[in-house]
Amino acid sequence: MKYKIFTNTIKTTKAMSKKSIVIILAIVIAFTACNTKQSEETETTSTEQSNQLYACPMHPEVTGKKGDKCSKCGMELTELVKSETVVQSTTEPATIESTTKVSIKEIVGAYLQLKNTLTKDNSKDAATTAKAFIAAFKNFDKSAFTSEQKKTFDDIESDAKEHAEHIGANAGKIEHQREHFDMLSKDIYDLVKAFGAGQTLYKDFCPMYNDGKGATWLSETKEIKNPYYGKSMLTCGSMKEELK
Amino acid sequence: MKYLKKILLAFIILFIGIQFIIPVRNESEQVLSIDISKTFNVPDSVLSVLKISCYDCHSNNTNYPWYSNIQPVAWLLDSDVKNGKDKLNFSEFGSYTKRRQQSKLRSIISQIQDNKMPISNYTIMHKNAVLTTRNKTLITSWLNKTRESLSILN
């Protein structure tokens, strides 16, 4: 039956122009389907650019959105600011340590937020905060690092980012998120050990998780709030180390 | 009926047309110095299980089935292989830092234990890739041992 239709249509060559339109249409649809992904990607990059900070060419400490006027001299803000740490290093010759600590603090802050969503068993919020955590890493300014520091940082970053991506992509699967949070916590612990956190942190230990092998996490409070079991075992665990 | 014929013809021509768009095959005879077998001491028994159950998507060498010569099947396979290699590539395992190697090993173990890997839409067509309980213990115990040896190093 199918073959019959096929030969019949070939005989009717008169309708060829219409046919070719149909064919072209089909091909165009097939190709546009492939291209939609690319256009999505370009959209996200353009929105990122609009969030960029700009500084006054005369007063680098004055920053704002593009097109804003400087509060000191009224000039348009045109100088592109890469990240907040750059602004700091221009206003005062800060030491390497204090500039890195400010941004490490952002990364640690994002981690702590993520931890708090897991203690509340909120898988959806965990995914959202994981994405903010990745952004904190992305905006981090490494220019003040020595090559040795950069190596340590890159090593931790590549691993931590991967875990955060998994947490971000698995909203609704809190067990899977917690598994990656366990590995992520080790990365952040090493990060804090190497660069400091800019705040006091506590390393807590849950002996039950991971089939009895145990798991650690970092917390901003002395009080135990277990992110691996949430409500079902909120106060289970013990403080092992105080990080200053 | 007329429209139906036209649509059918369009699909046939499109189907023939797409047969010429062939993605590059994921095949490489070369064993790199960063291959997992060069990074760790992998017993042959473990390696052969990995090759059958994992290597089609997680190495530089896919063993292609016959239907991979038909489009758009090859496109779908290509994207699966790319995605798989992006997450984990045994052929280039040595290029990961020690930290990531540990993470990868742990993730592999939990994926296998939770029966998430090999993925079900792969095992439908590759029944021999399904891990038997014996093979599961064989590779997870090796993975665990390797992971522990790594954490001692750190």
Q: In which residue ranges of chain B is pLDDT below 70?
A: 152-154
Per CB-CB distance under 8 Å, the chain A contacts of B7 are 22
Cα→Cα distances B135→A62, A73, B58, B99, Å: 63, 73, 18, 26
The residues of B whose Cβ lies within 8 A of any Cβ of A are: 2, 4-14, 17-18, 97, 99-100, 103, 106-107, 110
Nearest of A228, A211, A209 to residue A120 by alpha carbon: A228
Q: What pLDDT was estimated at residue B148?
A: 85
Per CB-CB distance under 8 Å, the chain A contacts of B103 are 159, 162-163, 183
Count helices and strands in chain A by DSSP H and E runs: 7, 6
**Each residue of B2-35: pLDDT tens digit?**
889 999 999 999 999 888 888 888 888 787 888 8
Closest CB to B103 among A9, A22, A159? A159
The residues, any chain, with a CB within 8 Å of residue A115's CB and separated by 6 or more, are A181, A185, A217, A218, A219, A227
Asked whether the beta carbons of residue B13 and residue A23 sit closer than 8 angstroms, the reply is yes
CA distance A83 to chain B (A): 28
Q: In which residue ranges of chain A is pLDDT below 70?
A: 1-52, 56-61, 66, 72, 79, 81-102
CB burial of residue A111 (10 Å; 0-12, 13-18, 19+): buried
Per CB-CB distance under 8 Å, the chain A contacts of B13 are 23
Closest CB to B99 among A15, A30, A159? A159
8 A C-beta contact, residue A215 and residue A209: yes
Whether the full predicted model's pTM is greater than 0.90, yes or no, is: no
- Chain pair A-B, CB pairs under 8 angstroms: 54
- Which amino acid appears at position A2 of this protein? K
Asked whether the beta carbons of residue B14 and residue A2 sit closer than 8 angstroms, the reply is no
Per CB-CB distance under 8 Å, the chain A contacts of B15 are none
8 A C-beta contact, residue A162 and residue B103: yes
Asked whether the beta carbons of residue A159 and residue B8 sit closer than 8 angstroms, the reply is no
Q: What pLDDT was estimated at residue B54?
A: 92
Indicate whether this complex's ipTM tops 0.90.
no
Q: Kindly calculate the radius of gyration of chain A based on its CA atoms and give it in whole angstroms.
A: 26
Per CB-CB distance under 8 Å, the chain B contacts of A11 are none
Q: What pLDDT was estimated at residue A84?
A: 41
CA distance B111 to chain A (A): 10
Closest CB to B103 among A9, A22, A183? A183
Q: What pLDDT was estimated at residue B59?
A: 92
Task: Name the β-bridge partners of A55.
Answer: A63, A79
Per CB-CB distance under 8 Å, the chain B contacts of A163 are 103
Nearest of B66, B94, B91, B95 to residue B81 by alpha carbon: B91
CA distance B119 to chain A (A): 16
Where do the H-state alpha helices sit in A51-173? 84-91, 96-119, 123-138, 147-169
Residue of B nearest to A5 (CA): B5
Q: Which of B19, B21, B103 to mutate to test the interface with A (most CBs of A within 10 A)?
A: B103
Asked whether the beta carbons of residue A9 and residue B110 sit closer than 8 angstroms, the reply is no
CA distance A156 to chain B (A): 8
